[in-house]
Structure 1
Amino acid sequence: MSDRSIKTASRMPKSGKTPATIASRLGRRLAVIVICIVALGVALVGLSAWIASKANTIKSELHAAEALIPTLKTQIGNNDSAGAAGTVESLVRHTAAAREETDHPLWKAASMLPLLGPNFQAATEVATSADDVARLGAVPLVKAFQSLDWQTLTPAPGGMDLEPLAAAAPHVQTAAHAVRESSKRLDGLDATNLVPQIAEPLESVRKELANVSAGLDSAADAAYLAPRMLGADGSRRYLLLIQNSAESRATGGIPGALAVLKVDNGILTLESQKSAGELGAFSPPIPTDSEQQAIFSARVGKFMQDVNLTPDFATTASIAQAMWGRSTGEELDGVLSLDPVALSFILEATGPVQITDPVVQQIGHKLPRQLTGENVVKTLLSDAYSMIDEPRLQDVYFAGAAKEIFGALSSGRTDPKRLIDALSKGVEERRVLLWSTSTEEQRTIARYSLGGLVSGAAITPAQFGIYFNDGTGAKMDYWIKRTVQVVRDCTRDGYREVAVRVTSTNTAPADAAKSLPAYVTGNGSFGVPAGSVQTNVVAYGPVQSNIDTVVRDGTTIPFAAQHHVQRAVGTSTIRLAPGESTTLDFNFGHIVQHSEPKLVVTPTTQAVNDVIQATNLAPCE
């Protein structure tokens, strides 16, 4: 064998396979691999198309469900229970279809993929929550709605049928629980790495569910409380305070007119009526805590006229109830407070009322015989003082007008929806306040603005309160116009600094000292010139904050600094002659809360929306 043959043989594989054979086999294997890759690619394309189809179905079903919500709201607003029931059936069909798509094994498998998996998980949670809200939220709500006859829930001479409302309470509580749990589930999702197509709708759904959850919690509490407090289990008797906004107090106005409101299975009856002055001074005073006594003085517990120098209505109500009990021997079940603007809201629902009591007619013979939503505030807070000379008779007229309005409210001719709207507006503007001697009931009331508290669950983290207490000893606040506005919100060394501006203007006529009655101006009795108005402006900051400075019309001035329930409190006194205006800037510092500032103010004769102005921030240094 030649050397070349030997070399060639040595290069041949030991298996005896030629290069051509090897190349052929490699080619076949490569072809198989290519075919597998192509097949996998086709499969992935098919899977992607399948997932896209599922996603589109989920999206379209949820959009169809969302489109039904306005119809459902309209049907409920129009008292169309049959239509609402049909709409909810359609709603559930759509949400169930969306949820069913996310239950497929391949969809669940896609949820386990890296990077993209969380997006599938988020879509699954949204579909699940939507279906839970529809089935466990909307369905029970509509059932409760179908069981209620709103006409029977309006005060009438024969009372109210409170049984259906009590029976509806568990359904509303079930709905509230379902929405609350769905909201928590979606809040628990980490949206950091989600694609915008998922993250943005998720954030929108979170906000919407949070709003709905809060509303349902309120409805559940109302359905639980209302039958009890309206006397379904036995009559209740409440002290009724009519706050007179012509002489400001922190919660609204001086409680000049008092009455006992009896509620028995929804039948409203005004019993004994008195003026605050009739109760006289209490010695020893009703005890108050040391913080409030330091800020507002012992007068809070000494005179009924001053029980609401404090903005904390629970304090006001408990002291007022104790004063009434000490004076009359009557033990009442709670305290309800209204002001003339709230009465105007009620008159918009009841329609005009006639003054029918002959004594009240005689006292107010120069005043309108008919009270309406348009004239009642001016009549009670201005004209009554200029046309009725004797303060005692003014109180009689005030109480008589309130009795006529409550009579109209109990007449049975009130439109239910308009009445609910009127009361809701009164509560929203803090013109309607409620306190109960029942610890359980008061715990529930305290969660809402209806309770009028300055601490607790109803207080938002960055809440600022601006309250007004008359220092004139007269009825001049009818003429004062105010605005309150956040004008600075900056961060320094990790803490926030917020400035709240309070502008006050005395719009009384230039000759107020002569043209207005002495009882209205005070006639200088407490050292304030007739026509001028003196006001103690009390500012509350958030918990753990400080009030660093108070600036009046550009000049830093001294102020009284205290604390109440860990909230910074600053008080400054202003005096305005007719036509004068002044501005106070309360500069709060060391604020740890970083949520949006919320303003709460004393309700006055102005609409609250006119008093609280939109934030207008100065540049930060």
Structure 2
Amino acid sequence: MGTHDRRPAGRAERVFAWSLGAVLVVGLVAAAWIGVRGGMAVAHLSSARQTLQAAEADPHDPPTIAVALATVRDDTSAARSLTSDPVWSWAEPLPWIGPQLRALAVSSAALDTAVSEGLGPLSSAASGLSTDVLRPREGAFDTTVIASLEPEADAAATHLRAAADELSRIDTAPLLGPLRDGVTRARELVDGAASASDALHRATLLLPRMLGAGGQRSYLVLFQNNAEWRSLGGIVGAVAQVDTQDGRFALVDQASTSDFPVEAEPVVDLPGEVQDLFDTRPARYIQNVTQVPDFTLGAPIAREMWKRLRGRTVDGVITLDPVTLGYVLKATGPVTLPTGDHLTPDNAVPLLLQEVYQRYPDPARQDEFFRAATAAVFSALAEGRADPELLLAALMRAGSEGRLMLWSADADEQAILDGTTLQGTLPDDGTDRSTFGVYLNDGTGSKMDSYLRPSVDVAWCGQDSAVLGVTLRNDAPDPASLPSYVTGGGEYGVPVGEALTGVYVVLPAEGRLEEYASTTDGIPPGFAGGTLEGRPVLKWSVQLAPGEQAHLDVRVSTPWTPHLGAVVTPTIVSPAIGRGATGCGGN
């Protein structure tokens, strides 16, 4: 009886043992399956990376690039297939190992999308903008060829941005170090390609129109002087009108800012918050149209002032600075001025922002020199002397540094610029980034800012707290060695050799000012505040003698985001945005 009763139990134990064994075997097989396929996927992705690096050694050889892309496509497709089977998907919800598997699967799929759907059209469109296409023939650019590249550029931009978005959604916190580093590198690679393709797509839409493919266009060009700071770079020191038609462009007029009258009333209505921060000066003085850190507001003001001065209505406004001219000279080569000076990439900034004031105390002679330099560089461009590839690199660099901005009176064309640095607007925050704006404005009425050196740092102090650090140093030589036009001669109440600066700190879009503090070697700083486009603004006024420096810490409460940064007024030497701010206190 007892023996008979034990038989079912024995069979149950054997069934359980066999079941447990089967589960273990299946688990081991699944683990081995996933391990082998994961290793193979990583090997394919590593091979793809090495192939791309080899292709980068000769980016101007289309056959080599085509073969490389085909090889890379095979590798990314294999990696995607290896990480998307049912066994892999079954294991993704598991603790610890699951996030690793999911990250590898998403990365493989995103990279395959980027290569298969994005890099091919991008390479094709970019190769279409060959040196021959971008070099004028008999004084004209071929706008038809540029416009024909738009569909491929659009496809590349769409697919690469989709892949970049997929990679950005991967939570890297639980990932092992090597995988986390790999995902980070993949994000940077695809995001960079997406940004490049987006810029190319916008260029294929905008360039033909700007070059007069649909009829004559007129543009007002503002040359900013970084020796006297304004929020967007410097005061407007000279202006020119450039007309385009059928791919040709011509310099048709130039003027000095001294030619413009000081308007008794603003030429356009300014928002109340702008007047609270900057008074009405941006809409009464041509020199101050770049004082508001939003070129979409300043450009129409300059357009209206030009209309009143010359009676012409332009289709758009462009602004650049001497640093940009230096970049462009790398593409054109040196140009010779009527004075006999050779303007080169190396001497453009010191010659235009410092030496000219030593040489010509008379402002009228300075303006004449600036106009001659502008005309010489423009002639080199119009004559097709610029290396197209170097010119594109120069313009892209200037745009990324905020030195080159563009505004169009055509709403559709202006929309093409949305979200780019070419618009010159306040930093555009989103769910993945928080950005301070640091805008520098001269208060001395001089050219002393060529000797000031700003530096900026940002840091997270906690999950919902960020800090910005701004340091300003006066590296001017003995004031006795400088002409009064550079020092200001004390005309506006600032002692000779000292520099008064208004630093406008615009907080991140969701930021709230918590506290701020300043240390200074010079006159104690002053503080004021306001808002700009609904964002809180802190104004820091600081006055420094040669050799002195001051530091400001601003702490704000704002939701944590993966990226924390700052946009800073482009100066003679672009200030690096560091990550070592020290204003977190005990946190």
| TM category, shorter | 0.7 to 0.9
Which residue of 1 is the match for residue 55 of structure 2?
72
Alignment of structure 1 residues 208-247 onto 2, 5 Å:
208-247=189-228
1:481 aligned partner: 452
Structure 1 distance, partners of 2:562, 2:211, is 37
Preserved CA contact (<8 Å) 1:277 1:304 = no
Instruction: Report the CA distance shift for 1:244/1:157 in structure 2 as closer, same or farther (over 3 A).
Output: farther
2:571 to 589, 604, 619: 604
- In the other structure, the counterpart of 1:7 is none
Checking the alignment, whether the CA contact within 8 Å between 1:449 and 1:458 is kept in structure 2 is no
1:85-144 deviation per Cα after TM superposition (whole angstroms, max 9, x unaligned): 111111222223333445656656666889867765554443333322221112222222
Bigger CA drift: 536-545 or 170-179? Answer: 536-545
Tell me how far apart the structure 1 counterparts of residues 93 and 173 of structure 2 sit (CA, whole Å).
17
Q: Please state how far the C-alpha of 1:342 moved relative to its aligned partner.
A: 1.1
SS at match of 1:268: strand
Contact 1:250 1:311 in 2 (8 A): yes
SS in 2 for 1:232: coil
Q: Which residue of 2 aligns with 1:431?
A: 403
Superposed CA deviations along residues 176-225 of structure 1, whole A, max 9, x for unmatched, are 22223234445556778778886764565445444443443333323322
Partner of 2:436: 464
**CA distance in structure 1 between the partners assigned to 2:183 and 2:408 by the alignment:** 40
Which stretch has the larger CA shift, 186-195 or 588-597? 186-195
Map of 1:85 onto structure 2? 66
Match of 1:16 in 2: none
For the 8 Å contact 1:545–1:592, the answer to whether it is kept is no
Matched, 1:179 2:160: yes
Q: Give the Cα–Cα distance (whole angstroms) in 1 for the partners of residues 208 and 553 of structure 2.
A: 43
SS of corresponding position for 1:213: helix
- The structure-2 alpha-carbon separation of the partners of 1:150 and 1:497, relative to structure 1 and needing over 3 Å to count, comes to same
- Give 2:492's aligned residue: 526
Instruction: Give the SS at the match of 1:250.
Output: coil
- Correspondence 1:229-308 to 2 at 5 A: 229-286=210-267, 287-308=269-290
Question: Alpha-carbon deviation of 1:404?
Answer: 0.2
Of residues 168-177 and 27-36 in structure 1, the stretch that sits farther from structure 2 once superposed is 27-36
**Among 461, 468, 490, the residue aligned to 2:461:** 490
Seen in structure 2, the aligned counterparts of structure 1 residues 416 and 202 have a Cα distance that, compared at 3 Å, is: same
Which protein has the larger Cα radius of gyration, Structure 1 or Structure 2? 1
> Aligned pair 1:517/2:483, yes or no?
yes
Amino acid at match of 1:620: G
For residue 548 of structure 1, report the CA deviation from its aligned partner. Answer: 4.1
CA distance in structure 1 between the aligned counterparts of 2:21 and 2:466, rounded to whole angstroms: 64
Following superposition, the deviation at residue 317 of structure 1 comes to 0.9
* SS of alignment partner, residue 380 of structure 2: helix
1:573 matched to 2:541? The reply is yes
Deviation at 1:495, TM superposition (A): 5.0
The 5 Å alignment of 1:63-462 reads: 63-76=46-59, 79-102=60-83, 123-154=104-135, 157-187=138-168, 201-202=182-183, 205-206=186-187, 208-286=189-267, 287-355=269-337, 361=338, 364=339, 368-456=340-428, 461-462=433-434
Q: State the alpha-carbon separation in 2 of the partners of residues 487 and 38 from structure 1.
A: 56
Contact map agreement 2:319 2:404 (CA 8 A) in 1: yes
Rounded to whole Å, the distance in 2 between the matches of 1:484 and 1:305 is: 25
Q: Distance in 2 between matches of 1:613 and 1:126?
A: 29
* 2:474/2:499 contact within 8 Å kept: no
Q: Using a 3 Å threshold, how does the CA distance of structure 1 residues 460 and 608 change in structure 2: closer, same or farther?
A: farther
Query: Counterparts of 2:468 and 2:322 in 1: how far apart (Å)?
Result: 31
* Amino acid corresponding to residue 582 of structure 2 in structure 1: L
**Is the contact between residue 119 and residue 194 of structure 1 (CA under 8 Å) also seen in structure 2?**
yes
Distance 1:133 1:532, change over 3 A: closer
8 Å contact from structure 1 (residues 547, 569) kept in 2? no
RMSD: 3.5
2: CA distance between counterparts of 1:489 and 1:119? Answer: 27
Query: Is contact 1:344-1:377 (8 Å) kept?
Result: yes
* Deviating more after overlay: 337-346 vs 278-287: 278-287
Distance 1:596 1:29, change over 3 A: closer
What count of residue pairs does the alignment treat as equivalent?
583
The alpha-carbon deviation at position 590 of structure 1 amounts to: 3.9
d(CA) in 2 for partners of 1:327, 1:428: 32
Residue 308 to residue 199, structure 1, CA distance change in 2 (3 Å): closer
Is 1:56 the counterpart of 2:39? The answer is: yes
Task: Decide which of 513, 528, 538 is 2:504's aligned counterpart.
Answer: 538
Q: Do structure 1's residue 615 and structure 2's residue 580 form an aligned pair?
A: yes
- 2:263 is paired with a residue whose SS is coil
Structure 1 alignment gaps of length 5 or more? 1-10, 14-18, 356-360
| Equivalent-residue separation in structure 2 for 1:592 and 1:43 (angstroms) | 45
Rounded to whole Å, the distance in 2 between the matches of 1:102 and 1:461 is 30
Quick check: 440-449 or 208-217, which moved more? 208-217
Give the AA of the match of 2:469: V
Q: Which amino acid aligns with 1:438?
A: D
Output one character per residue of 1:4-53: Cα deviation in whole Å (capped at 9) or x when no partner.
Answer: xxxxxxx6x9xxxxx7x999999999889878877776666555544444
User: Which digits, 9 at most, give the CA deviation of each residue in 1:573-592, with x for residues without a partner?
Assistant: 33344x24131415343444
- Please list every run of 5 or more consecutive structure 2 residues that lacks an aligned counterpart in the other structure: none
How far 1:475 moved relative to its partner?
A: 2.6
Give the structure 2 partner of residue 3 of structure 1.
none
Shift, 1:60, TM fit: 2.4
1:136-180 Cα distance to aligned partner (Å, 9 max, x none)? 112222222343323321456522223333222221221222223
Residues 431-469 of structure 1, C-alpha deviations (whole Å, 9 max, x = no match): 111111122222332412221111546998532222222
- Deviates further, 117-126 or 467-476: 117-126
Further displaced range: 327-336 or 214-223: 214-223
**Alpha-carbon distance between aligned partners in 1 of 2:162 and 2:407, rounded to the nearest angstrom:** 30
Structure 1 residues 507 and 43 mapped into 2: Cα distance closer, same or farther (>3 Å)? closer
Residues 374-398 of structure 1: CA distance to partner in whole angstroms, max 9, x if unpaired?
A: 1222222222222224322321221
Distance 1:177 1:26, change over 3 A: same
Query: Is contact 1:546-1:591 (8 Å) kept?
Result: no
Query: Residues 53 and 566 from structure 1, CA distance in 2 versus in 1: closer, same or farther, beyond 3 angstroms?
Result: same
The one-letter amino acid paired with 2:529 is A
- Partner Cα distance (2:315, 2:326) in 1: 26
CA distance in 2, matches of 1:383, 1:190: 53
What code does the residue aligned with 1:500 have? G
Could you tell me the percent identity over the aligned residues?
Answer: 30
CA change 1:460–1:574 in 2 (3 A) is: farther
Is the 1:252–1:602 contact (alpha carbons within 8 Å) kept by the matching residues of 2? yes
In the TM superposition, residue 607 of structure 1 has moved relative to its aligned partner by: 3.7
Residues of 2 paired with 1:27 and 1:248: CA distance? 90
**Cα distance in structure 2, aligned partners of 1:467 and 1:351:** 33
What's the TM-score, normalizing by structure 1? 0.83
Contact 1:321 1:332 in 2 (8 A): yes
